């Protein structure tokens, strides 16, 4: 029997330090919003038997009158983002980039994709993303409150819901902070796939936490131990299941991250971070917070 709850100060201190770093990254650097939220255009091109440098691409686009140009070379293509979203801007960029292949033997220029999003659509996507996350959190609180409504000793059902949401908020804030740091150092942008990843993380994380809480609910009526020891036994009973489930999910996510396409890499990275942090919070954060709340309530009485 691992004394997880009894050693809660260690686990919660580590969680607090990690959260402070994530909040600092989020406040200091902010999220690097992508095309879906800011509006603009994304052009992806490739060159057969040739990989132009960043300076060459920027030089080819210098005479196009495009604004906000961001060039991102990949393993076998070049991504170009710019603020204009008209067809004239698109053709101007293509014409400039084609010149890099002119006069080079065996080099063939190819346009792989072009996407354009208006500013109004970006604002609408931002609002809908926020609404989707808020609605998911409200529904989760209602679900946990109803599911644990018969639990009254010694922690009320609504406290289970609030603690679960606090663990979920921790996971979301940490993931946002991680992407703020990635955006600052690696230029990683936030787009709609990231919102989909957050919603998936919310569903997965709350499921992991509820499994632990459900075992606590089952053990409470028949336990002769105090609340702290009952919670610790419940966490230990679900420990191997939580770790094994998260580990198998992470194996699949890492396979997708390394061997999947670039279009879903940011989604997969967000999932990897969320699943890892969710496994930690469901075991070492949510249940200890529940016990600390109970101890605080007893001292107040």
Q: Given the DSSP bridges, would you call strands 78-82 and 109-117 parallel, antiparallel or unpaired?
A: unpaired
- Give the span between the Cα atoms of 50 and 102, in whole angstroms: 12
Tell me, what's the pLDDT at 253? 95
Residue 121: predicted pLDDT: 62
Q: Tell me, yes or no, if the two domains 8-34+121-300 and 40-117 fold the same way.
A: no
The pLDDT of residue 18 is 97
Domains of the chain by residue range? 8-34+121-300, 40-117
CB-based contact 158:225 (threshold 8 Å):
no
pLDDT confidence of residue 120: 63
Q: Name the CATH topology of 8-34+121-300.
A: Multidrug efflux transporter AcrB transmembrane fold (1.20.1640)
Q: Find, among 177, 212, 202, 178, the residue nearest to 289 by Cα.
A: 212
Any idea which residue has 């691409």 for tokens?
Answer: 57
Residues of the chain with pLDDT under 70: 119-122, 150-153
**Which residues does residue 40 pair with via DSSP β-bridges, in sequence order?**
117
pLDDT of residue 283: 93
What pLDDT, on a 0 to 100 scale, did the predictor assign at position 232? 95
Per the document, the length of the chain is 301
pLDDT given for residue 62 in this prediction: 87
| Residue among 270, 24, 33 nearest 130 (CA) | 33
Classify strands 70-73 and 109-117 as parallel, antiparallel or unpaired: unpaired
Q: Burial letters for 180-217: b for 16+ Cβ neighbours within 10 Å, e otherwise?
A: bbbbeeeebbbbbbbbbbbeebbebbbebbbebbebbb
Burial of 82 (0-12, 13-18, 19+ CB in 10 A): buried
Q: Which fold has domain 40-117?
A: Alpha-Beta Plaits (3.30.70)
Write out pLDDT tens, residues 24-63: 999 999 998 887 777 788 899 999 888 888 889 989 998 8
Helices (H), the chain: 8-28, 35-38, 54-60, 87-98, 119-147, 157-186, 192-219, 227-259, 265-284, 286-300
């Amino acid at each position: 029997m691992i004394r997880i709850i009894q050693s809660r100060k260690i686990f919660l201190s580590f969680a607090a330090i990690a959260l402070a770093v994530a909040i600092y990254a989020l406040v200091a650097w902010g999220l690097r919003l992508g095309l879906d939220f800011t509006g603009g255009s994304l052009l992806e091109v490739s060159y057969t038997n040739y990989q132009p440098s960043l300076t060459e691409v920027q030089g080819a686009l210098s005479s196009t009158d495009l604004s906000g140009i961001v060039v991102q070379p990949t393993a076998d293509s070049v991504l170009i983002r710019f603020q204009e979203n008209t067809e004239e801007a698109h053709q101007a960029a293509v014409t400039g980039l084609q010149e890099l292949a002119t006069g080079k033997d065996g080099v063939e220029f190819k346009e792989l994709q072009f996407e354009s999003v208006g500013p109004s659509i970006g604002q609408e996507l931002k609002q809908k993303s926020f609404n989707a996350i808020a609605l998911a959190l409200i529904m989760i609180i209602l679900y946990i409150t109803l599911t644990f409504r018969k639990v009254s000793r010694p922690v009320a059902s609504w406290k289970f819901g609030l603690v679960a949401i606090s663990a979920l908020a921790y996971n979301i804030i940490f993931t946002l902070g991680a992407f703020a740091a990635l955006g600052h150092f690696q230029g990683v942008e936030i787009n709609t796939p990231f919102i989909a990843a957050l919603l998936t993380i919310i569903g997965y994380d709350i499921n992991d936490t509820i499994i632990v809480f459900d075992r606590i609910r089952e053990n409470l009526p028949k336990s002769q131990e105090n609340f702290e020891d009952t919670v610790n036994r419940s966490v230990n009973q679900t420990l191997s299941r939580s770790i094994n489930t998260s580990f198998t999910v992470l194996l699949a996510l890492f396979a997708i991250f390394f061997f999947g396409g670039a279009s879903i890499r940011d989604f997969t990275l967000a999932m990897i971070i969320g699943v890892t942090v969710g496994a930690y919070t469901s075991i070492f954060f949510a249940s200890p917070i529940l016990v600390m709340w109970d101890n605080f309530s007893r001292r107040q009485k």
